[in-house]
């Protein structure tokens, strides 16, 4: 992926709070270019998955109406030292 992505995970008890910030324009395909009057083609993230120790725990599907540079906060039950991906 070309876009930079930041991930932070914080353990509290047996809950891991995961925060993800993705740099992406999330173009809906409904805006018009003010100069040409043409619609700007849609370009947004459609699928995203979060894995814990190699197993997918969250699978997300998105539409174009998630904000530009999406932020995502999630909570997963996991043992200390578990690797998130």
Partner 1 sequence: MNELNELRRTLLKGGCAAGLVAVAASAGLLLPGRALAAEWNKSAFEAKNVADALKGLGASGVADSRDILIKATDIAEDGAVIPVEVTSQIADTQSIAILADKNPLPLLAVFEFVDGAQGYVSTRIKMGQTSNVRVVVKAGGKYYSATKEIKVTIGGCGG
Q: Is 40 helix (H, G, I), strand (E, B) or coil?
A: coil
Q: Is 37 helix (H, G, I), strand (E, B) or coil?
A: coil
DSSP 67: P
Least distance from partner 1 to the Cβ atom of residue 2, Å: 20
Work out which of 6, 23, 30, 43 binds partner 1, going by CB under 8 A: 30
Least distance from partner 1 to the Cβ atom of residue 43, Å: 13
6 lines the binding site for partner 1 (CB under 8 A): no
Q: How far apart are CA 80 and CA 85, in angstroms?
A: 15
Q: How far apart are CA 81 and CA 53, in angstroms?
A: 10
List the interface residues with partner 1, window 61-80 (CB under 8 A): 61-68, 70-78
Work out which of 47, 54, 80, 81 binds partner 1, going by CB under 8 A: 47
9 lines the binding site for partner 1 (CB under 8 A): no
7 lines the binding site for partner 1 (CB under 8 A): no
Extract the tokens encoding 79: 């043992």
């Amino acid at each position: 992926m070309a876009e930079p992505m930041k991930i932070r995970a914080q353990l509290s008890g047996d809950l891991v709070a995961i925060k993800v910030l993705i740099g992406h324009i999330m173009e809906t395909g409904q805006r018009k270019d003010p100069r040409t009057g043409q619609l700007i083609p849609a370009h947004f993230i459609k699928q995203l998955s979060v894995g814990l120790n190699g197993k997918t725990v969250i699978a997300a599907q998105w539409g174009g109406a998630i904000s530009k540079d999406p932020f995502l906060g999630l909570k997963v039950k996991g043992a200390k030292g578990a690797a998130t991906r």
